[in-house]
Structure 1
């Protein structure tokens, strides 16, 4: 294998990913569809049940779940017939979000398989939610990390913190090894 082929098959460094994430940024709204029937948004979107119904949202992933964060939970959505998946995560570089990648990807995949529409949110819809959506695209849709970043950034500005980016790089490397 040539060194050029080898570099194509490698996870990009964090600084390269940051460059991709910061390239071609433009204003994005409170909620954006980043993959068919998969939306990334902020806390205000998640709390607006009328907007969620207008968008046809059937499932919500709260990447900032819990009383110290955005405490919506399944009871909040009970009257809206929305299924809920909570991830109690802090947006700090030393928080390990990777244990939630697989379960969240399964939840999103299950919802989309049932013709549902999913909102993944955190406080601002930038770091935690962006990370979980990238992980879903890698795990369930077979995209590389670079491909997932480029795809999501076409529709929404996301910027996972460097700790989350490192975790996504580890996931990307693991998934690439499995394909070999």
Structure 2
């Protein structure tokens, strides 16, 4: 059974509990391998670093149509839409600091919507930050949870099959809160459907 099939099976979820920060760290740190500059982590969805985002030849060869810069801004990776003006590429910038106190969760839904819209048009999306590990990893996990209906544990496992990511502790806690909220919404929806 694939992750997607497991995630749509409500009986598979009855015993699920959102992992603690310690459990998440164990899951993220187990069997670590060096991450290259870019990795496909889901069909049409890539996580990469700054060098990948600046390599227009590589972006073209990967057929990237949409790009999420999760380190956007003048004091970070200041590419912006104008950097890609000579390419057919839709740009989405997230001004996020890779700091545990930064509230990245404010961008979870909007970034997930951007990625979902791109993939629904058969696009290919690169989500990047400086190293392709923390900010971009957290935003991709949020997308998988919100739009692909994976639990946080399933999302981490899916991404880690192809790339080592390690969102900082603040981002992990924000993802835990998202997981708790989504699990509660699914529980309420399942009970509501059962009562109809």
Identify if the C-alpha distance between structure 1 residues 68 and 179 changes in structure 2 by more than 3 Å, giving closer, same or farther: same
Structure 2: state its 5+ residue gaps. 1-11, 188-196
Structure 2 match to 1:173: 180
User: Is 1:8 aligned to residue 15 of structure 2?
Assistant: yes
User: Is 1:72 aligned to residue 79 of structure 2?
Assistant: yes
In the TM superposition, what is the alpha-carbon distance from 1:104 to its structure 2 partner? 0.1
Q: TM-score, normalised by structure 1?
A: 0.95
User: Is 1:45 aligned to residue 52 of structure 2?
Assistant: yes
User: Is 1:105 aligned to residue 112 of structure 2?
Assistant: yes
Instruction: Tell me which moved more, 45-54 or 7-16.
Output: 7-16
Output the CA distance in 1 between the equivalents of 2:35 and 2:130.
15
Structure 2 match to 1:150: 157
In the TM superposition, what is the alpha-carbon distance from 1:144 to its structure 2 partner? 0.2
User: Is 1:162 aligned to residue 169 of structure 2?
Assistant: yes
Task: Write out per-residue CA displacement over residues 26-66 of structure 1, whole angstroms, 9 at most, x where no aligned residue.
Answer: 12210000000100000000000000000000000000000
Cα RMSD for the two superposed structures = 1.3
Q: TM-score, normalised by structure 2?
A: 0.88
Output the CA distance in 1 between the equivalents of 2:17 and 2:153.
10
Q: How many residues align?
A: 176
Output the CA distance in 2 between the equivalents of 1:134 and 1:109.
13
Task: Write out per-residue CA displacement over residues 137-158 of structure 1, whole angstroms, 9 at most, x where no aligned residue.
Answer: 0000000000000110110000
Output the CA distance in 2 between the equivalents of 1:98 and 1:55.
28
User: What's the secondary structure of 1:40's corresponding residue?
Assistant: strand
Output the CA distance in 2 between the equivalents of 1:45 and 1:68.
19
Aligned partner of 1:96 among 91, 103, 113: 103
Output the CA distance in 1 between the equivalents of 2:87 and 2:169.
35
Task: Indicate the structure (1 or 2) with the bigger Cα radius of gyration.
Answer: 2
Structure 1: state its 5+ residue gaps. none
